[in-house]
Every structure is written in structure tokens, then in C-alpha cells.
Amino acid sequence: MLSKAPLRALVGLALSICALSATTASADATLDRIKARGTLTVGVILSGAPFGFIDPKTQEQKGFNLDIAKGLADDLGVKLETVTVTPPNRVQFLQQGKVDILIANMQYTEERAKVLGYVPTPYDRAGGAAVGRKDSGLKDWADLKGKTACVSQGSNYTQPLIEQYGAEVKALPSQPESLLALQGGNCDVAVHVGATVGLLLQDRPEEWKNYAILFPTELIPSDSVIWLRKGEADTTAALDASVKKLHSSGKLLEFAKTNRLLKTEFLQQEQKALSAAQ
């Protein structure tokens, strides 16, 4: 009886799960649904200023990502609804249809483009910065061979850190845990989006006085794009037009300034290029 038990369970479980996944697979045109519902559901990440964080007084989400989401919803003429996502669950939430699009610190990579769709015009450019102790003696990404690097679970820095630089990667649930692990000495460096850690070091000089961004170059600097489910051409086109408008009107640059993004060269270039094209 006992040898049969697990087999039965497997079959039962597989059947019930197949039935469930069948119901999720039926995707409809996202744009129709956005229009029909009158809301754009955006998955945003709260990894800290400047991109996304909670204001204790109003308990509202604020940050660069949120401003972009608002800008897009306004342009489409719909209401905005945000869903907080974390690096380990953001792709699942998008695939499930829980969110329409992701503005969640996700840069373009070929791997991601295989499973997800994206808006071709980027809203920013970002790369990874390595925070570590000033006395660590690490000078370049290549020095990370055999060293421990903390990242967020689902981070796109995992693969280059392992495969290209031979670092040992520890992935924690989110950025604050990773930075605490760095302070506790559980990793040699923490690798996250440059703007967040840069602003953190600048705003909290006392707590972080022994730490610095160690390398002058950024890890795989790439375009931050809006991600959506694969094969939704109408939505992609509509959002692309909106993003271009945000660029050319100078709104994105404005968002970047109010949220204190440290590097705005890319946004300035894009604004010039796109407003000239019009």
C-alpha cells in the first residue's frame, strides 16, 4: 500500500495542477483589458529611494518608478493601480496576469526577452554597482573571483557575476537584507542597481563611512525597460508611444530630478534625440 501511495499522490497532484494551470494560460489582449477596466495595473518594486519606497506619513508608494507608472496611466487615460512585487516573484506575477506591466528595476537582457515582451524605448539606463568595504582591496570586477557577492533573488547580475567573474553569489529576498548581510560581513560586496546604493551612501554617510562603491564601471549597464507578457503587440505599441512622449516632453527628466537620480545623462540624451525627431 505504501509503495503505491506516492504514485497516486503524484497523479492526483499533477492532474489538479494541470487543471489549474490551464485556467491561467488563457491570456487576452492586455490593452483591451486595460481599456475595459479603466485601470493600468503596474508591478512596482520597493527597493528604496530613488526608485520606490513607502512614505510613512501617508503610507503611499513614492519614487521614480511610481512617477513613470502615473505618467503612463495618465497618457493612456486610465487609472493607475500598483502592486508591490519583489525580485523573486515579479516574473510570476506578470505571467499570471496579476499585473499588466512591470516597472521594476529590470534591465533588458536576452534571456528575459526570450520569455517576456518589452517596450523598446527604455525609460532609463542602469547597471550594477558593487558596494564593499573601502579596505577590501578590490579594484575591479575581475577581482571578485572567488569572493562572495550578495544580490537580490532573481537579480540579473547573478549570471554575469558567476559565469563571467567567477564570484560566489548569495541571493537574498530583497535589497535591504542583502545590504545588511554586507554589513554583517556575510559577503564581500553587494551588487545592486547603481542609483539606489549610490543615493544610500550619499544620504547615510555616517552609517556607511567604511563602505564605498568599489569599481568605477557598472556591471552590464543596460536599458531599463518596461516588461509585459510576450506577444502583445498593441500594448507594446501604445506604451512605446507613451514612453516616447514622456521623454520628449521632458517629464522623465523632471521625475528623475525630483527623485534625485544621480545620473541623468542618458535621459538628457534621449530627450534631445526624441524631441528633435518630432
Residues that bind other proteins (CB under 8 A): 1-2, 5-6, 8-10, 12-14, 17-18, 20-21, 23-24, 46-49, 53-57, 59, 84-89, 91-93, 95-98, 111, 115, 133, 150, 153-154, 158, 162-163, 170-177, 180-181, 183-186, 200, 203-204, 207
Name the nearest CA neighbour of 41 among 95, 112, 88, 102: 102
Residue with cell 516574473: 91
Contact 45, 53 (CB under 8 A): no
* 215: its cell numbers: 569599481
What's the min distance (Å) between Cβ of 97 and other proteins? 6
Residue located via cell numbers 489549474: 20
Return the number of the residue (72 or 91) whose C-beta is nearest other proteins.
Answer: 91
Measured from the CB atom, the residue of 6 and 216 that comes closer to other proteins is 6
Least distance from C-beta 136 to other proteins, angstroms? 9
Q: How far apart are CA 272 and CA 274, in angstroms?
A: 6
Smallest separation (angstroms) from other proteins to the CB of 131: 13
CB of 208 to other proteins, least distance (A): 9
Comparing CB distances to other proteins, the nearer of 112 and 263 is: 112
> If 0-12 CB within 10 Å is exposed, 13-18 middle and 19+ buried, where does residue 103 land?
buried
Q: How far is the CB of 123 from other proteins (least distance, A)?
A: 21
Cβ proximity to other proteins: between 189 and 246 the closer is 189
Cα 255–Cα 54–Cα 228 angle in degrees, nearest 5: 60
At its nearest, how many Å lie between other proteins and the CB of residue 271?
29
User: Which CB sits closer to other proteins, 32 or 207?
Assistant: 207
Contact (CB, 8 A) for 123 and 224 = yes
Q: How far apart are CA 224 and CA 263, in angstroms?
A: 14
CB–CB of 154/90 below 8 Å? yes
Q: Which is nearer to other proteins, 140 or 207 (CB)?
A: 207
